[in-house]
């Protein structure tokens, strides 16, 4: 290969089949990781918007029963915070229907229901993070494997040569190094996205946990003020 033909495309085409396979794998992983990044970006944006909308309505003075009725009707399009609220209210009302009047039992039941719903919501929000973490940690090593294999293949081809110059060595090594470059190209965006999403998800989790505590306090006040009536306001 002449210096004029040492473009990235020619280097890829001239590489051994093992190195080409590694490059194809890394490119496929890179495309999949970018798709996961955009999906997660839009999903987190939607989660934040839905949580903010519900929290605004929650603190607007609307009664808890009206909020619960609205959440039940809007279950498919509700955000995590609204579903957590609905889980707590549903358990609270079920316990009241069973003639349970002990405030501690009612509050504990609502808390446990909200905690279970919180875990389910966080499992959904955290989806794809493990994939991005795997891409970020494994891709460089896969690229390095392609590079090592390519260099071994290149030096095997030099075994029968009597005179080896930089011009004869450079193309084979360059072909192999492309695999490392593609591995880094796959890993770097995945690592950056993972760190960004992990930080955003921590904020969402903190926001939801704060809401659970605030809603629990509201239920506790209602139980203390009106132990024989359903929660109707806050």
Is 135 contained in some domain? yes
228 pLDDT tier (thresholds 50, 70, 90): very low
Is 205 contained in some domain? yes
- Indicate if the pLDDT at residue 227 is higher than 50: no
Is 166 contained in some domain? yes
Q: How many domains does the chain have?
A: 1
Is 134 contained in some domain? yes
Q: How far apart are CA 149 and CA 76, in angstroms?
A: 51
Is 97 contained in some domain? yes
**Residue 130 vs residues 27, 97, 233: alpha-carbon distances, Å:** 19, 42, 41
- At 159 the pLDDT is 59
CB 154 within 8 A of CB 173: yes
- Residue-wise pLDDT tens digits, 31-73: 999 999 999 999 999 999 999 999 999 999 888 989 999 988 8
- Residue-wise pLDDT tens digits, 82-126: 999 999 999 999 998 888 888 889 999 999 999 999 999 999 999
**Residue 167 vs residues 1, 4, 87, 152, 171: alpha-carbon distances, Å:** 9, 12, 70, 17, 7
Is 6 contained in some domain? no
7 pLDDT tier (thresholds 50, 70, 90): low
Q: What does 105-161 look like in DSSP terms, one character per residue?
A: HHHHHHHHHHHHHHHHHHHHHTTTHHHHHHHHHHHHHHHHHHHHHHHHHHHHHTTT-
- Residue-wise pLDDT tens digits, 127-150: 889 999 999 999 999 988 888 887
More confident residue, 10 or 206: 206
Mean pLDDT of the chain, nearest integer: 85
**What is the pTM for the complete model shown?**
0.80
Is 4 contained in some domain? no
For residue 91, what are the domain limits? Answer: 11-223
Is 153 contained in some domain? yes
- Residue-wise pLDDT tens digits, 180-206: 888 999 999 999 999 999 999 999 999
- Indicate if the pLDDT at residue 226 is higher than 60: no
- What integer is the mean pLDDT of 152-174? 64
């Amino acid at each position: 290969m002449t210096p004029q033909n040492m473009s990235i495309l020619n280097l890829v085409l001239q590489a051994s089949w093992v190195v080409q396979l590694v490059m194809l794998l890394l490119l496929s992983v890179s495309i999949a990781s970018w798709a996961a990044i955009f999906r997660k970006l839009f999903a987190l944006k939607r989660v934040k918007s839905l949580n903010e909308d519900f929290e605004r309505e929650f603190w607007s003075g609307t009664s808890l029963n009206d909020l619960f009725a609205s959440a039940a009707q809007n279950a498919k399009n509700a955000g995590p915070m609204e579903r957590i609220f609905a889980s707590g209210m549903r358990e609270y009302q079920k316990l009241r229907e069973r003639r349970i009047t002990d405030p501690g039992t009612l509050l504990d039941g609502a808390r446990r229901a909200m905690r279970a719903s919180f875990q389910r919501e966080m499992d959904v929000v955290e989806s794809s993070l493990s994939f991005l973490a795997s891409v970020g940690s494994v891709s460089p090593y896969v690229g390095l494997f392609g590079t090592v294999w390519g260099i071994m293949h290149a030096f095997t081809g030099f075994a029968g040569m009597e005179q080896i110059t930089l011009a004869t060595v450079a193309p084979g090594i360059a072909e192999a190094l492309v695999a490392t470059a593609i591995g880094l190209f796959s890993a770097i965006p995945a690592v950056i996205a993972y760190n960004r999403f992990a930080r955003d998800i921590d904020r969402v989790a903190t926001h939801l946990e704060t809401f659970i505590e605030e809603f629990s306090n509201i239920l506790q006040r209602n139980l203390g003020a009106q132990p024989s009536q359903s929660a109707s306001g806050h």
